[in-house]
Each structure stands twice: as C-alpha cells, then as structure tokens.
Amino acid sequence: MLQELTERHELIVFWEEGEISRVLLGSDFHACLDGYVALQIFAGRSLPAIYVELDATLSPVAFVFFEMSFDAAGWAERSWNLPLRHMAEIAAAGPDLGRGPVRLVCRSQNSMSWLGDRLWDPLLQSDRNEFLLTARAVAEMAPRLGLRPVSPPSPPNIPVLADRVERDGEDQERRWRLEGERDALKRELEERDLRLRTVGAEHAQQMLRRQFEHEQAVAILQAQHAKLLAQQKLLKEQNDALSEQLEVLQGQLQNSEARSRRAVHEAESDLQLQLQRVRQSHEDSLHQSLEQANRRWREEVLRHEQALQGEIEAERSRRLESDLEWQRRLQERQDQIDLKLREIAALQQALEGAASQGAEAFLARLEQLGMNFLVYHAGVGHVSVPVAELASYAGDPLAYAARKSFVSPDVYRAWLRHYDDPRCLHELPQGECCAARIIRVDSPARFIVGESDRCARHHRDSNIDAVLRFRTPPAAQGDHS
C-alpha cells in the first residue's frame, strides 16, 4: 500500500495560441525524445509546454514551464536537454491548488539560471490562471490516458477516553486552524512573490522586445538614409554630366558664332577691297580714255567729236553695269550673312530647348518610376515631396513646410524660433526681452504668436480680462473713465 501511495505519474501538456492542444504521457514524450516516435502535428514549430507531476491521487504536485522545438519532420530538436524530473524534484514552492503548495519551475523561479532561456512564466490572472486550466485539463485527460487514482487507507479505529479525546481534539483542531492560517498566509506570500517575479520577467521581456524593435527601426532608417544619399549622389553626378554637356554645347556655339563673325567680316573686307580696286581700275581706265579722247579731240576735234561722244557714253554704260553687278553681289553676300545668323540663332534656341527638355524628361522619368523625395521639417516630421512639387519645394522649403502644417510662413518661422529656444519674448521697459524659460509648443498649428511665446507673468488671457470687466461695478467704471 505504501508503494501505491508514493507512485508518481508524468504528463506533458502542450499549449498552442493560448489554448491546450495536446496532453502526452511521460513515456510517450520520452519516446519522442529518444527518436522512436515523431509528432507530425508540431513539425517545424516551437511551442510552450508544461511538465506536470501527479501523485497517486492524480493531483498535480509539480509544474515545469518549458519550451519545445520540433524540426520539419516532427522530431524533437537534438540540442534539447532539460532534466525535467530533476528540476521538478528540487523546485521551490509555488501556488496552492487546494492540496498544499505545488513545486514550481519557471523563468522567474529557477534554480538553474543557465536554463532560463528555455523556460517561460505562467499567467496568474483571475480570468486566465494557467495553473487551474492545466489542472482541469489533466483531471479530464488522466482517465483517458489510463491513469487511475489510488485512495488513501482509512485510519484505524482505536478506542480512546472520551474526555481526553475531546481535549486533544480541541487542541489539535486549534493547532490545525493556526497551522492552516499560517500556511495560507505563507502560500499567499509565495503567490504574491511569484506574481512579482513573473511581472518583472514580463517587464524585462517587453523592454528587450522594445529595444529590439527600436534597433530594427533605427537600422531601417539608416538604410533608407543611405539609399537616399546614394540617390542624391547619382542625381548630382547626372546633373554634373548634363552641366558639362551644356558647357561643351555653349563653347561650340560660341566658337561657331566667332567663326561666323570672322567669315562675315572677312567677306565684307574682301568686297570692299574688290570694290575699291574695281573703282580705281575704272577710274584709271576712264582717266586714260579721257586723256586719249582729249588728245584726239585736240588733234581732230571736228572729225572725231561724234565718235568720242559715243565712246564716252559706252564707257559710262559699262561702268554703270559694273556697279550694278557689284551691288548685286554685295546684296547676295549680305543675304548669305543674314541666313547664317538666322541658322546660328535657331541652333542656339534648339540647344536651349534640348537642355530644358532633357531636364524635364529626366524629372518625368523619375515621376513615372514613382520616386518621391523625403524631407524632414520640425513640427511636420518626414514629408514625401512628389516630383511635380519639387520646384515649389526648392523655391521655398519653409513655405512648403508651413503649408503642410496648415499655418502661414510667418507663423511657422516664429514657431521655429520658439521651438529652438522656448523663451518669453515680452519686451521690458529697458528695451530687453524677458527671456524666461517657458513650455515648448510642439505643434505649429497650436502656436499663437504673442501668447504661446509669453511666460505666465506676461501672458494676457482675454477670458480673465472679460471676467474682471464683468465684476467691476458701473460706478467704478465711470469714475475710472
């Protein structure tokens, strides 16, 4: 009979999404650890589990809250080596489930600190007590798993004296009551201590989780910043390349204009020189002809007068025709020069249009790619600037940020001065400012010039003035006026 009463049973309770999903006998669990049986339903997952030790009456006497991982085939991880039975034997006292304090091992109550990463803390809330939920599930599943409780033997009926029995019974009852109250207080203190440790462990986990999330956010922001810097560098390189091309085209245009001017100047000089030579030649020829004519006229005035007059007319006609021919050639040269100038102007206009269309095409291509520029302004935070609004933002960034804050640019600039150095700007009679530290207004929309930048001494409240005027008697107001 003593052997039956000291018998112990082991159960493994698996939790999934806050609910009990499966209960295994200790022998089945050890078979999975030894590689005889695989749990396909837990393949590739990591689940919280509870090792529960039952006494002969199938009442829980020990709890070990641990975590279990399975590979893709449903086998237990090879590095898992928790001594559950030994941990339960040396465990400290836990909560009282109705038959005295149970032994408890969890993350916040563990004598083997190096195994804390593989443990977890239970919930002790009134609406969700995982000890009570586990005890109820074990009581329901134990008969299905073939476990039967063993009842303790009844005490022997030994005759005793009535008076002595009554006194001993009263004393024993008083001692039991005092011991029960002491044990209840002790269990309550232990439960409170366990709750405190559990809350502390949860708080530490939350802090670690928040720190990890913060580090992840910082890493993401740093990556975005590096990406923006790379994009800015690429845009700068492209802009430099376009500037270099524009400078080359401008140099070519200037060289072409210089060559055209030199060609026009040289053509004009050649024409002037040829015209002077022709005129000089004609003048020399005419002078010789006149001399000859005069000489002949002197010799034969009467005989050759008509012939000489005909030659003079013919010579004038030829000179007039020659002058008209050179004027026609000069006009053709001038027309060619005007045509070259128009071609040069058209080429310059085409170059300017090509440069403008290149920049607009580049911005349009960025807009088609869905690229936006991310900027930061105090009071607004990170603002995404579309490509279509890039020119407006580059013209006046503060006005753009003020428009995003739904305030005027003057109010936004005044709020920036207040945000950088929140001090009272009330002007004292000596010509200086109060400069007292005041509470900073974090939003531009809630900033009022003349009120938000004043301290309590120099802040004028219109509602208080109205109340004071209402309380002032009429006679006093008349005397005052």
- Same structural domain, 381 and 333: no
State the total domains in the chain: 3
The share of the chain scoring above pLDDT 90, in percent, equals 11
> Based on the domain organization, do 354 and 380 belong to the same domain?
no
DSSP state of 191: H
Does the predicted TM-score (pTM) go above 0.85? Answer: no
Beta carbons within 8 Å of 131's beta carbon, 6+ residues apart: 63, 94, 95, 97, 102, 122, 124
Tens digits of per-residue pLDDT, 206-221? Answer: 676 777 777 777 778 8
pLDDT in tens, 177-196: 777 777 667 666 666 666 66
Using the 3D structure, point to which of 123, 152, 181 is the last residue of a domain: 152
pLDDT band at 262 (very low <50, low <70, confident <90, very high): confident
Residues 11 and 123 in one domain: yes
Is 43 in contact with 83 (CB distance < 8 Å)? no
The residue segments making up the domain with residue 110 are 2-152
Dihedral Cα 60, 61, 62, 68, nearest 10 deg: -20
Domain boundary among the residues 309, 333, 368 is at 368
Distant-in-sequence, close-in-space partners of 439: CB < 8 Å, separation ≥ 6: 422
Residue 363 and residue 388 in one domain:
no
Domain end marker among 368, 391, 424: 368
Is 218 within a domain? no
107-152 tens-digit pLDDT:
988 888 888 888 998 887 767 788 889 999 999 988 888 888 876 5
Name which residue leads in pLDDT, 465 or 57.
Answer: 57
**75 found inside a domain:** yes
pLDDT digits (tens, 9 = 90+) for 372-403: 788 888 888 888 888 777 778 888 888 888 88
Q: What are the residue ranges of helices labelled H in 40-161?
A: 84-89, 130-144
Q: Residues 288, 397: one domain?
A: no
DSSP class of residue 97 equals: -
Q: Quote the CA–CA distance of 121 and 25 in Å, as a whole number.
A: 22
- Looking at the fold, whether 361 and 398 belong to one and the same domain comes out as no
Q: Answer yes or no: are the C-beta atoms of 256 and 344 closer than 8 Å.
A: yes
pLDDT digits (tens, 9 = 90+) for 236-256: 888 888 888 888 888 888 888
pLDDT band at 79 (very low <50, low <70, confident <90, very high): confident
Is 70 exceeded by the pLDDT of residue 197? no
pLDDT digits (tens, 9 = 90+) for 323-341: 888 888 888 888 888 888 8
What pLDDT, in 10s, does the model give residues 2-15? 344 457 899 999 99
The 10 Å Cβ neighbour count of residue 275 is 15
